[in-house]
Every structure is written in structure tokens, then in C-alpha cells.
Chains A and B, each alone.
Chain A
Amino acid sequence: MRVGIIGVGMTAFRPATPEYSWKELMFEAASRAYADAGVDPRTDVDSFITCAEDYYEGFGIFDEFVPDQLGAALRPTCTVSGDGLQGLANAFMQIETGLVDVAVVEAHSKASDIVTLEGVIEHALDPVWNKPLGAHPFVIAGLEADAYLRATKTPRRALAAVVRKNRQNALTNPLAAYAAKIEMDEVLGSDERFAPLRSLDIANSADGCVVLVLASETAATKLHANPVWIRGVGWASDSPSLETRDWAGGEYARLAAAMAYRLAKIRRPSVEIDLAEVDDRFSFKELLHLEALGLAKKGEAGKRALRGDYGADGSLPVNVSGGSLGCGNVFEATGLHRAAEVALQLRGDAGMHQVDGVQVGVAQSWRFVPSATGAVAVLGVGR
């Protein structure tokens, strides 16, 4: 049975939203998604999934606070403590069982409410082996960037090319929080943070919410929707321990992609995929993820980035939306945002940043520091 995305709803992504509560952000994105899909959540939706982590939210059991603003009270609803793409994968499976016809996936960020973000992320480190070292958790990203650059002989300048591209792409995305006309020299001259990463290599936090409505083919036909099909989903985790994981190759992304491609029957991703939205919350991650997804040969993503292959008019447009560097880091909503952008592109609804003639797109996510977990969704239109 085919499963498609029939509704996309997003708020704008902004550095802070003092006039909004997170419930209001959820309500806004959900209302947009339901209007886009033409569904009434109280009668047409069979299952709701939210993607959230307690510590980011500042609650003991965040699942409690989900139902009302989504229209999910007294309905089947649950939390997937993971990235939005993992939530999408669970909704996909629920529909595949036949028990559910229409499912809603929600993920959001209210990062501006977090007073001690460093402390929250530090709490995710192994309490016995790693937390006592006392380093800022982003050191892990720095070490990983260093391992990646060395292993693939990628020039440091390639990271600056990623930042320039994504921040500039965001200028054509009205929802983006951090659009800017930034040049490579500015990236390379920005403050040193977690060597080799500099301040402009790191996505800034943003608030925002993304809601997608999924439906089985039968339900989509009944609702007269024009779905973007979910051709494959995959998710995987490498070792949670820093000492035993793969540092340079993004094993989680490689495994997740292999699963998604298997379901989507994609054998040559670099030929069959027209557009990609990948996690770029640290500039090097975009290149590492492109290689892990089989969209670039090992060690070539950096060179291709410097050649401009990944621009909106390049051979493989990557993060045309602006990615997280341009739109902002929305934590667990990041992967769902990537999927929403791919869906809009495939529908031809991406507005100023629309790429012409795209049929198959891939969205990829990573669960941020300190995890080695990621997910992939292959989306397509037609056939």
C-alpha cells in the first residue's frame, strides 16, 4: 500500500517567539497542515504522533501536553522521543498495517525558552564516562569535523562554501530565520569555537513547528489529495558511546539510507535522486551526510561543494531551503522540516526557491549532539 504526504504546515522559523507559547506554535502549524490537506482532525485523522524530548521541553512528561492544540484529545496519540523523521517513519508504519488511514506527525522547537541549552545537551552525555570530563558538548562535533576532514582530505574551505550556500539560499525562503549574504572569507574569519569549527559553521537555534498529514493511497483518493509519496523510510543508530562509534563516515546515515533505498527500490541514488535536504547543523555534516547517502563519492562532497554542484542550479540541489544553517536549528523538528521542504519542492509549491522538474527527493536527519542516530525518507511524485 502506498503512503503519501497530503498536508504540509509550518510556522515561520524565528530566533525567538516571545508572543507565542509552544502550544500556539503547534496550533498554527497544525491548522495550516489540516487546511492544506483538507482534513478535520476531529473526524478524519486516526492517529497523531509528536516528536519531543522532555529536557528540551522542560517537562517531566511532555506527552501530556500534546493533544488539545492538535485536535487529538480522546484520540490515538503518542510521543516518539526522536527526530521528526523517526515520527514520520512510525506514522508510515501505522498506515502500512492498515489500522490507520490518516496520521499526523508533529515536531517543534521552542529553543528560545531554554535557559541552559549547554547543560541540557551535557545531560545527554554518558554520566559515567563522558560527562565528568566537563567539556562543552559541541566539542564532540568539533572532533567529528576534524576526523571527517582528515579522513576524506576535504579542504576546510569546503565547509565555508556550505555555510555561504545555505545562508544565501535562505534569502529566498520567507520562513527562514538566518538568511544572510555571507561570503566564505567571513566564515573562515569568524570566531574559532570547536576547532576546526568556527562560529558561522554552527546553526543557530530557532523556534518553529512543522506538521505533516500522511494518508494511505485509498484515503488520499477519498480526500481528493495530490500526495507526495513516501517511497521509502529508514532509520538507524550507531553506538551511543563516543569511544566505539564511527567518527568519520556517518554510519547511522549510511544504514538509514540503505534501508530507505531498499524500500524505495533505489539502486543508484546519485542518478535517481533529484534533490536533497540533509542535516547541516554543523557545516561539515552536510558533506558527511551527502557521502553517507551515496550522493557523493567518499571525499568528493567537499570538492563538489566548492565547484557549486549543490547550489539551487547545480547538478544536485542540496538544502535549497537554506537548511538549518539558514533556517535555524529547530532540534527535533529538523528532520520533519527537511521532509516538508522536499514535499513542497516535489509538489511545485516551494515558491521563490522552487527547483524545476524534481521528481524524487531525499530528506535526511540526525539527532544532534551527542547522538549517532539518523533517519532518511525518500519522497517522490507521479507513478
Chain B
Amino acid sequence: MRKVGVIGAGMTLFRRRLQETGKEMCFEATKMALDSAGLTRADVDTVVCGTAPDAFDGVAMKGEYLLDGCGGYRKPYTRVFTGGGTGVFSTIAGWWHVASGLADVALVVNEEKMSSCQPHPQSVFAHIWDPILDRPLKPNLVWIFAMEMNRYMTVYGVKKEDIARVAVKNKRNAVGHPCAQLADPNITVDDVLNSEVMAWPVQRLDISPPSDGASAVVLASEDFIRKRRIKDRAWISGVGWCIDSTMWTDRDLVFPEYVARAAKMAYKMAKIDEPRRQIDFAEPYDPFDYKELHHLEGLLLADKGEAPVLTREGVTERDGKMPVCPSGGLLGVGNPIAATMGMKIGELFWQLTGQAGKRQIPREVHTGVSQAWGDLMQYGSVVVMRA
């Protein structure tokens, strides 16, 4: 197995970007990532594109459409798609392109353009359900996640304030992020608790906003990194991915077993047996504030039901013992589904190479873990990176 490192990253501003096509956003992120690695398109052997539902952009075979913006012209180019899990999964796919020896340099580009979906991108989610069992109930994602959140709160007796602390922390963390959509230095727990109720217990500020954006990372083999004398690199030391059954109604929603299995796979590869001691910081997927807590438990960084306590005690603050979502996460920076790679893989790279600027964790960090979550509350993708 060849050693693979991340050597560059780029991401666009996350906003409703009516002026740019998806291709153009991909180009912007790709150019930034290549520039930061000091490479050009000629150095790239293969391109992996990650992007979630085609229906957001309203283009079928969206990977083909984005191809030239991603730098895939006349190159081996593949699109992978695991719903929201794509945010971390595409890097795993890029990893096997390099680790297998088929490529020395792989470019991974993730894109989402949700604003073209009218009247609201939520309408795409009407088509993700089983057409016989679920669709007639006209479910939407907010109320499905409300059920999951409610179950989590009920089983462990979690207070809504403790969950709201996650939204406050992440939106404050995002203040230093140049791409952030919803950074807020003054937000309080009361603001979250007083925001509009969407589907109890989910309120408006518990949710990350839909967005348009793209992000890109450059992966390279150890030989290439050594030959080019590339200084800013972070090694991918563990990868794991796992899908649970489609039948979400058959699952206990209180614990994300699929995340735990993906994490164990990644930790085994990274030779991590005590994750809480061996991992310095985490970027779990936080489209909803309770999901960060849920995922910390899935990642085995907190005992079951303990994540809200760690949050209340400040352990997960940027200057805490285990900083979580120092980027600002999806809650603070925005949630253009697959493009959240910028806060997951991108942030790990920037933190581990000391390039996170105002967001830099104030102590030295050596090992980070990032995770994304997708499909129908059933997908976990996990990457462990080391300085």
C-alpha cells in the first residue's frame, strides 16, 4: 500500500452564486488547490469528482457536465456519489487511485449548486424515499431528522440547550473562515432556542444552510512528494466507509452504527486503538447541531450520550482538549453537500500544515479525523490524517 498525502486544497465562497455555473465553481476550486500545491493540470494523472444529487443542478450525468471545470479533459475521470457522505468519500476514492499505484497525483473536486433548484432544494429530497413505503407519507428531511434528534434526546435525557451549544460554537468558529456563509461572532444559545421551529425539536438555527460552492484537494504519492520536495503535506493514514440498510425504519436511530464501523475500519488502518487519546481534533459532519454529537459518539470520541456533556464542558471548543469542527463546520460555513469537503478534508490539511490562519488550533496537532454522513441516515465515510 503506497503512502498518500494531501498536498493542496482550495474552496470557493459558499453563497447563493447565481452568476457562476457549477463548472465555473469547480474551475475556481481546482485552480486554487493546484496553485496551493504548486502544480499544474499537466501534473495531474487522474481526476475524481464528487457531487451529490443531479437534481440540485438539474443536470443528468452531472459528473460528465462538470468534467472540464474539474480539469478532467482527456484524463481518466470518475465521479463517485454516496449522498452527503461524498464530502469525505471522494477523497477516499482519490486515495485508492494513488495508493493502488495507478496514479501519482489525483485531483479530487467536489461541487454542489443547490440554488438552481426551485422553489427550494428541499424539494429534491422528495425523491429520495422508497416509492412504495415512504413517499406516500410525503416526508421531508427536516422532520425525519427531527425524529432522530428526538430519539437521541429522549434516550439520553439531553437538553435542547446542550445541543444548541454546538450551533453556537460552530457559527462562532466560522468567523475566521473566508468562505463562511453563516459565521456569527455574537450568537448565543438563546438565539438558537428562540429561532423559528421547523419540526420540533429542530429549529432554524439548528440547521446548516443550503448553499452553492466547490472545493478541491490534491493527493499525491510519497515518491512524488519527496521528488518535488513538497513541504506542506498531510498524510492519509486511515480510510473507512460503510452503508447501512435502506430500511431506516428498522434501525435504532440513537446510534450511528454505520459511522462506528467506518471509523473502526479507518482506525484499524491508521493503527489507532485509543481514538480519544490518539486523535487531536475532529471534523465530524454537522448539517444539524445534534449530528455533531451523534457523530462524535459514532467516531468513538465520546461515550454514548456523553457528547453533549463534553460540549457543555468546553472540551470541543477550538482551545479545548478535543477541538471539534474548528473550521466552523457546515453550521457555520455552509452546506453545499459534497463541497463540504473543504471543511472536512481541507480543514484537516490546513490545520495539520499550520495554514488555518485565524482558525488554527492554538496547540500543536498531529492527528485529525474527518467524517461525512449521507444517503438516508445510513452512510458513514471517515478519513484519518496525520501531519
Q: Which of A97, A126, A238 has the most CB of B within 10 A?
A: A97
Given the interface pairs A60-B53, A93-B102, A99-B1, the reply to whether A236 lies near B244 with Cβ below 8 Å is no
Chain-B contact segment, one of A73-81, A346-354, A357-365: A73-81
User: Smallest Cβ distance from A66 to chain B, in angstroms?
Assistant: 7
Q: Is A312 an interface residue (CB 8 A)?
A: no
Query: Is A240 an interface position by the 8 A CB rule?
Result: yes
Residue of A nearest to B379 (CB): A63
A238 contact from B74, B241, B265, B379, Cβ within 8 A: B74
A80 touching B80 in the complex, CB below 8 Å, given contacts A99-B239, A124-B65, A251-B74: yes
A124-140: CB near B (< 8 Å → 1, else 0) gives: 10111000000000000
Whether A53 contacts B241 by the Cβ 8 Å rule is: no
| 244-271 of chain B: CB within 8 A of chain A | 244-247, 257-258, 261-262, 265, 269
Task: Give the complex CA separation of A76 and B382 in angstroms.
Answer: 11
Beta-carbon contacts under 8 Å, B64-117 to A: 64-65, 67-68, 72-83, 89, 93, 95-97, 99-102
Check B59 against A61 for contact (C-beta < 8 Å). Answer: no
Q: A93-B97, A94-B96 are in contact. Are A72 and B243 (CB under 8 A)?
A: yes
Shortest Cβ distance from residue A357 to the other chain B in the assembled complex, whole angstroms: 31
Residues of A70-103 whose CB lies within 8 A of B: 72-82, 86, 89-90, 92-94, 96-99
Do the beta carbons of B77 and A237 come within 8 Å of each other? yes
Produce 1/0 per residue, A172-201, CB < 8 A to B: 000000000000000000000000000000
Check B75–A236 contact: CB distance below 8 A.
yes
* C-alpha spacing A227/B174, complex, angstroms: 53
**Contact between A93 and B96 (Cβ–Cβ < 8 Å)?**
yes
A73 to B243, CA, bound (A): 6
A324, B311: Cα distance in complex, Å = 58
Task: State the CA gap A55–B54 with chains docked (Å).
Answer: 7
Bound complex: CA A239 to CA B102 (Å):
22
B1, A97: Cβ atoms closer than 8 Å:
yes
Residues of B within 8 A of A79 (CB): 80-82
CB <8 Å contact, A76 and B241: yes
B window 205-250: CB within 8 A of A: 239-247
Check B356 for interface membership: any CB of A closer than 8 A.
no
Pairwise interchain contact A63-B83, C-beta atoms closer than 8 A: yes
Rounded to whole angstroms, the CA-CA distance of A108 and B102 in the bound complex is 27
Complex CA distance for A55 and B95, rounded to whole angstroms: 28
- Smallest CB separation, A27 vs chain B (Å): 13
**Cα distance A68–B99 in the bound complex, in angstroms:** 29
Q: How far is the CB of A243 from chain B (nearest CB, A)?
A: 11
**CA A121 to CA B97, docked complex, whole Å:** 29
Chain A interface: which size bin?
35 or more
A238 touching B245 in the complex, CB below 8 Å, given contacts A61-B376, A128-B21, A367-B64: no
Q: Does B58 contact A (CB under 8 A)?
A: yes
Q: In the bound complex, how far is the Cα of B72 from the Cα of A238, in angstroms?
A: 8
A63 near B375: Cβ-Cβ < 8 Å: yes
Q: Are B67 and A237 in contact (CB under 8 A)?
A: yes
Cβ contact within 8 Å between A80 and B60: no
Contact A74–B68 (Cβ < 8 Å): no
Taking CB atoms, residues of chain A closer than 8 Å to B269 are 99
| A90/B78 in contact, CB under 8 A | yes
Contact A239 B244 (CB under 8 A): no
Inter-chain contact A77/B52, CB cutoff 8 Å: no
Contact with B along A233-246 (1 / 0, CB 8 A): 01111111100000
Question: Are A54 and B74 in contact, with the CB atoms below 8 A?
Answer: no
Closest-by-CB residue of B relative to A127 is B59
Given A65-B246, A120-B60, does the pair A236, B128 have CB atoms closer than 8 Å? no
Q: Is there an interface contact between B80 and A259, defined as CB atoms closer than 8 Å?
A: no
| Cβ of A31 under 8 Å from chain B | no
Report chain A residues within 8 Å CB of B82. 63, 78-79
Interchain CB contact under 8 A, B80 and A237: no
User: Nearest chain A CB to B101's CB is how many angstroms away?
Assistant: 6
Alpha-carbon distance between A173 and B262 when the two chains are bound, in angstroms: 42
Q: Is B351 engaged at the interface, CB distance under 8 Å to the other chain?
A: no
**Residues of the B chain whose Cβ atoms lie less than 8 Å from the Cβ of A251:** 74
Which residues of the partner chain B approach A66 to less than 8 Å between Cβ atoms?
A: 243, 246
| Any B CB within 8 A of the CB of A255 | yes
Interface status of B198 (Cβ within 8 A of chain A): no
Q: For chain A residues 303-337, which have a beta carbon within 8 Å of chain B?
A: none
Query: Closest B-chain residue to A236, C-beta based?
Result: B76
**Cα of A96 to Cα of B53 in the assembled complex, Å:** 29
Give the residues in chain B near A235, CB-CB below 8 Å: 76-78
Residue of B nearest to A21 (CB): B132
Contact indicator B64/A68 (Cβ below 8 Å): no
Give Cα A66–Cα B241 distance, bound, in whole angstroms.
Answer: 14
Assuming A76-B241, A93-B102, A239-B74, what are 15 further A-B pairs, CB within 8 angstroms?
Answer: A54-B60, A61-B374, A63-B83, A66-B243, A67-B245, A72-B243, A73-B243, A78-B80, A82-B63, A82-B79, A99-B1, A99-B239, A124-B61, A240-B67, A367-B64
Minimum-distance CB pairs A-B, first 4: A96-B100, A60-B128, A55-B60, A93-B100
17 CB contacts below 8 A, A to B, read A56-B60, A64-B375, A74-B257, A75-B242, A76-B265, A78-B89, A81-B61, A82-B79, A92-B100, A93-B96, A93-B100, A236-B74, A237-B72, A237-B75, A240-B65, A251-B74, A259-B76
Chain B contacts to A: CB under 8 angstroms? 1-2, 21, 52-55, 58-65, 67-68, 72-83, 89, 93, 95-97, 99-102, 124-128, 130-131, 239-247, 257-258, 261-262, 265, 269, 374-376, 378-379
